[in-house]
Amino acid sequence: MGFIFCLVLSTFLWQFEALETPSGKELEPLTRELLESARKPEFFEWMIGVRRKIHEYPEVGFEEDKTSELIRTELDSLGITHKWPVAKTGVVATIGSGVKPVFSLRADMDGLPIRELVEWEHKSKVDGKMHACGHDSHVAMVLGAAKLLQAKRDELKGTIKLVFQPGEEGYAGAYHMLQDGALDDIDAIFALHVLPAYPTGVLSSRPGAMTSGAGRFSATIQGKGGHAALPHLNRDPILAASFAIVALQQIVSRETDPFEARVVTVGFVEGGKVGNVIPDSVRFGGTFRSLTNEGLPLLQKRIKEVIEMQAAVHQCTATLDFLEDVALPYPVLSNDEALYEHAKKVGETLVGAGNVQLHPKITGAEDFSFFSLKTKAVMFGLGIRNETLKSNQVLHSPYFFLDESALPIGAAFHAAVAVSYLDSHFVAQ
């Protein structure tokens, strides 16, 4: 009876719970095959060709029309069905059986309002815009994975959705993709981000919180302007703003647990024009960040209180704008622990255990975090640093440069994580 109960229970668990992540030995033929395919000269040339075309015509958030069109053309020629538009320029492509589980791979499509200063054959042809965060390569790698997966479509034990999203750089594109409902059925999602901090081909991530939640604020302190010689007849907003900016520093240093990571930074101050006039108002603003989702509303509340009360001390008034209609605050990116372990095992098999590193927590933000609120999610970094190529410049630098030899590794990693996820999570019908 006990035995039968166990048998029934284990059958039940087998159907509804994740199976074990396969061992490195089981994964090895898959990762080797995928990497060999992605490194074939024809495949590699095609992938870097796609990346260079996107690099030459960067488009900023929610304007990715050309990029989106290029993606759809490539998907069409691979024979992959897709849905468009999702969140204006976004594309969601589907490969596989159409049944559960549904595993998703994500690429962001937008460039930045930065003028490229690297002189090379495929330099940006759009003045003032540049792919300085590697999103061109993210698209190329997910298209590379699409090609690898399409070749295996009859063996897939479930469905893979490829998500090409707009507006990662401050526009919360991921949030808008979710709002459009095209991802309601996904069970887990994976993304890669190229990182110049690591040598080419090195992978890195961490379980749990990886990037911060982040919000913006803008404050206006209203006083009463007048002649600088008669301060007693005026209400000086410059002094009020100065006190407020100093007081804001204490939210982190005096009110935050030293073991919690939070940031409050004032990035601009605008007020006054000449030395002998007290202006009517001063505007300033900045960013606040936290590595816990609870931290963000606490910071927001205190930023408002501190600025309003410091204004009142100086007989001024303050109005606060958290700019949520322009730039939705980004939540913390929290990597699912089991999915992290799964992808780490795949990565170790692909590039060797010594080339998979633990990524530190960072106070940068990433809108992939919206997916991590909705479903099991994990993001890995992919090293692109090569001193000879000068691909060691930080993200968002006008000198940012990419070592394209990382692309086949990225394509194979995406595809291997997806295939092995379906293999270990499929539900016997």
Ligand X SMILES: *[C@@H]1O[C@H](CO)[C@@H](O)[C@H](O)[C@H]1NC(C)=O
Residue selected from 89, 200, 281, 310 as contacting ligand X according to rule CB under 6 A: 200
Q: Are 191 and 279 in contact (CB under 8 A)?
A: no
Query: Which residue number, 145 or 406, has a Cβ lying nearer to ligand X?
Result: 406
- Minimum Å gap between C-beta 275 and ligand X is 54
Distance separating alpha carbons of residues 313 and 154, to the nearest angstrom: 70
CA–CA dist 228, 234 (Å, integer): 9
Longest Cα–Cα distance of the chain, Å, equals: 95
Q: Please give the size of the binding site for ligand X, defined by CB under 6 A.
A: 4
To ligand X, the closest distance from the beta carbon of 405 in angstroms equals 7
Q: Is 6 annotated as a binding residue?
A: no
- Phi, psi (5° rounding) for residue 158? 150, -150
We find the least distance from the C-beta atom of residue 283 to ligand X, in angstroms, to be: 47
Name the minimum Å distance from CB 407 to ligand X.
Answer: 13
CB of 138 to ligand X, least distance (A): 20
Q: Residue 388 or 429: which CB sits closer to ligand X?
A: 388
Query: In whole angstroms, how far apart are CA 276 and each of 49, 157, 271?
Result: 59, 74, 13
Residue position matching structure tokens 């069905």? 81
257 or 387: CB nearest ligand X: 387
Q: For residues 246, 247, 251 and 255, what is the CA-based torsion angle, rounded to 10 degrees? A: 120
CB of 135 to ligand X, least distance (A): 22
Instruction: Report the residue number, 18 or 389, with the smaller CB distance to ligand X.
Output: 389
3-state secondary structure of 88: coil
- Binding characters for ligand X, 388-417, by CB under 6 A (x = yes): xx----------------------------
CB of 200 to ligand X, least distance (A): 5
Number of neighbours of residue 328 by Cβ within 10 angstroms: 19
Residues 350-389 contacting ligand X, CB under 6 A: 386, 388-389
Strands (DSSP E) along 102-187, which ranges? 102-108, 159-165
Question: Site residues for ligand X, window 214-273 (CB under 6 A)?
Answer: none
Closer of 377 and 412 to ligand X (Cβ): 412
Distance CA 248, CA 264 (A): 7
Enumerate residues 6+ apart whose C-beta is below 8 A from 176: 87, 88, 90, 166, 167
CB atoms within 10 A of CB 269: 16
Q: Rounded to whole angstroms, how far apart are CA atoms 367 and 110?
A: 12
> How many whole angstroms separate alpha carbon 344 and alpha carbon 356?
7
Q: Is residue 212 within the footprint of ligand X (CB under 6 A)?
A: no
Q: Which is nearer to ligand X, 67 or 200 (CB)?
A: 200
Q: Does residue 299 contact residue 264 with C-beta atoms inside 8 Å?
A: yes
Is 169 annotated for ligand binding? yes
Find the shortest distance in angstroms from Cβ 409 to ligand X. Answer: 11
Nearer to ligand X, 159 or 386 (CB): 386
Footprint of ligand X on residues 277-316 (CB under 6 A)?
Answer: none
**Rounded least distance, CB 390 to ligand X, Å:** 10
Q: How far apart are the first and last CA of the chain?
A: 26
Q: Which is nearer to ligand X, 263 or 351 (CB)?
A: 351
Q: Is 342 known to sit in a ligand binding site?
A: no
Q: What is the identity of the amino acid at 268?
A: F
Nearest to 290 by CA among 244, 331, 336, 254: 331
> In 10 A of CB 288, how many CB atoms?
26
What region, left, alpha or beta, does residue 163 occupy, with left being phi > 0 and alpha being psi -120 to 50 degrees?
beta
Indicate the residue among 200 and 375 with the shorter CB distance to ligand X. 200
Residue 232, marked binder: no
Give the residue at shortest CB distance from ligand X: 386
Q: How far is CA 389 from the centre of its chain?
A: 25
Q: Is 131 annotated as a binding residue?
A: no
Alpha-carbon span 368 to 227, nearest angstrom? 51
Binding site for ligand X (CB under 6 A): 200, 386, 388-389
Binding site, annotated residues for Mn(2+): 133, 135, 169, 193, 396
Binding site, annotated residues: 133, 135, 169, 193, 396
